[in-house]
Chain A
């Protein structure tokens, strides 16, 4: 069963704009992670935020976590055409390596 739900399902923006994707989950978590998947490829880990953290940065990525609302957001700043991919959130329920993924947001960045 899926644990997270991403919103929106699809997002199309122009190069240079910021892209924001949201993830909501159902149960308590140990950490939340974001992954990226290019068409026809496996998933690649982007960033991890622990349950006791509220915000984390990595390059052009900014992740926030609100455990009271059971939600997270991924912001990609100054987007590039190469950022075109599907983005998934995954939750580790209570630190037992049980990783569940959402349905993903399909991001298209137009050059």
Chain B
């Protein structure tokens, strides 16, 4: 079974430029998360989707960040314009939701963003 796929793996951009990250979750997983992880810190939730609906975007800086989940499957996270402080790893994760085994989250390898 394929895991969560993210691209690009690494991205270096100049400040004020736009950048987009793509995520393909595990097939059948209704819940999709975008997290941001700064160096030496834990993942911070940016947005959570249940199918195509964004049910928690309270941590998403909406002035420059946007996200969408097309047809409840793939998702994109966009930053426009990027700032130096946006340098971080952007992690996508998916889960099948609550079940007998609880809500186990499966992570992609992350997209490493450096803004210069």
Chain A interface (Cβ within 8 Å of chain B)?
A: 1-2, 4, 6, 30-31, 33, 35, 41-45, 48, 50, 88, 90, 92, 95, 97-104, 106
Contacts and interface: CB of A to CB of B under 8 A. Distances in A.
Say which size band chain B's interface belongs to.
20 to 34
Nearest to B3: A42
Main secondary structure of the interface of B (DSSP, over half): loop
Kindly name the residue among B97, B104, B106 whose own CB sees the greatest number of chain A CB atoms within 10 A: B104
B95 A97 contact: yes
Interface of B: 4, 31, 33, 35, 40-45, 48, 50, 56, 59, 91, 93, 95, 97-98, 101-110
A71 to B, nearest CB: 17
The 5 tightest CB contacts between A and B, nearest first, are: A42-B107, A101-B42, A43-B107, A103-B42, A48-B102
Contacts of B101: 48
B42 A42 contact: no
Given A33-B104, A97-B97, A99-B33, A42 B109 contact: yes
Contacts of A41: 109-110
A100 B59 CA distance: 12
A101 B43 contact: yes
A97 B43 CA distance: 15
